[in-house]
Amino acid sequence: MKKTILVVDDQASVRTLVREYLAEQGFRVVTADNGQNALYTARQEKPDLVLLDIMMPEMDGYEFIRAYRKESETPIVLLTAKLDESDKVLGLEFGADDYITKPFSMKELVARIRAVLRRAGQVPQPSRVLRAADITLDRETHSVTVGGRGVRLTPSEFDLLAILMASPGRVFSRLDLLEDLQGTSFEGVARTIDVHVRNLRTKIEPDAAQPRYIETVFGVGYRFVGE
């Protein structure tokens, strides 16, 4: 079955170009010209991934993410013409999974989309259930519970937690984690991982300000403390 991509951009030329190329690559593509229309389309079409411009009229990309994340964990890849790292980090903080900076090559765009879809749809061996303290991560059902309470994670947050839990006590550098998550490196690597860790902590830690499970190893990276 074809994967459905929702392309959201206020420029008709961009929507047309991306739609036609993705269709040639075997995707089903639907489009919207602003965040408000994108919300309606996403609810109707149930896309497998949202390709989202940031700067749009009526409802921009940030507002769309805030609204959409209340009802769906569908992967979101940002399209951004901004060069300021803080703008990209803001999108990640709101719940985006990746970003690509305009102008971009279509081959890179498709590679990013496929990488995010692989992470979102990965189903490793059914028996792979990770448990540590009161956290249980089930890779077959793509679910996480903390103290018996279900926790909703984005695909990037889920994979990050799985990587850390699979090797408790091991210190991962930010580059290690980025390569495991995305298979490629890009600008803002340290901030990207830091944002995902911060979001994950708010969802699984009893007190995100004093993390119990995901420990920062200053000057190096992060490790999972299972006990």
Q: Which CATH number goes with the domain that contains 114? A: 3.40.50.2300
Q: Which letter does DSSP use for residue 183 in this model?
A: S
Say if residues 105 and 98 touch (Cβ distance below 8 Å).
no
Does 115 share its domain with 135?
no
Does 146 share its domain with 188?
yes
Does 102 share its domain with 169?
no
Q: What is d(CA 215, CA 204) in angstroms, rounded to the nearest whole number?
A: 13
Final residue before a domain boundary, out of 121, 140, 170: 121
For the four alpha carbons of 159, 223, 144 and 72, in that order, the dihedral sign comes to negative
Q: Which CATH number goes with the domain that contains 167? A: 1.10.10.10
Amino acid 186: pLDDT: 44
Amino acid 187: pLDDT: 46
Amino acid 112: pLDDT: 87
Does 26 share its domain with 82?
yes
Does 51 share its domain with 155?
no
Q: Please state whether the predicted TM-score (pTM) of the whole model is above 0.85.
A: no
Q: What is d(CA 120, CA 75) in angstroms, rounded to the nearest whole number?
A: 7
Does 198 share its domain with 136?
yes
Say if residues 18 and 48 touch (Cβ distance below 8 Å).
no
Amino acid 197: pLDDT: 93
Does 112 share its domain with 144?
no
Burial string for 145-154 (b: 16+ CB within 10 Å, else e) reads: ebeeeebebb
Does 117 share its domain with 146?
no
Structure tokens at 18: 């991306």
Does 179 share its domain with 99?
no
Structure tokens at 47: 């896309």
Does 15 share its domain with 85?
yes
pLDDT tens digit at each of 227 positions of the chain: 678 999 999 999 999 999 998 988 888 999 999 999 999 999 999 999 999 998 888 888 889 999 999 999 899 999 887 656 666 677 788 888 888 888 788 888 988 898 888 877 743 343 378 888 889 999 888 899 998 899 999 888 998 998 898 888 888 888 878 777 765 444 445 678 889 999 999 999 999 999 999 999 988 899 999 76
Domain containing 182: what range?
129-224
Q: Which letter does DSSP use for residue 59 in this model?
A: S
Does 106 share its domain with 151?
no
Tokens 């390569």 sit at which residue? 179
Domain count, the chain: 2
Final residue before a domain boundary, out of 63, 87, 121: 121
Q: What is d(CA 190, CA 217) in angstroms, rounded to the nearest whole number?
A: 13
Does 105 share its domain with 169?
no
Q: What is d(CA 96, CA 74) in angstroms, rounded to the nearest whole number?
A: 9
Final residue before a domain boundary, out of 77, 103, 121: 121
CA distances from 172 to 3, 44, 216, 221 (A): 33, 40, 10, 6
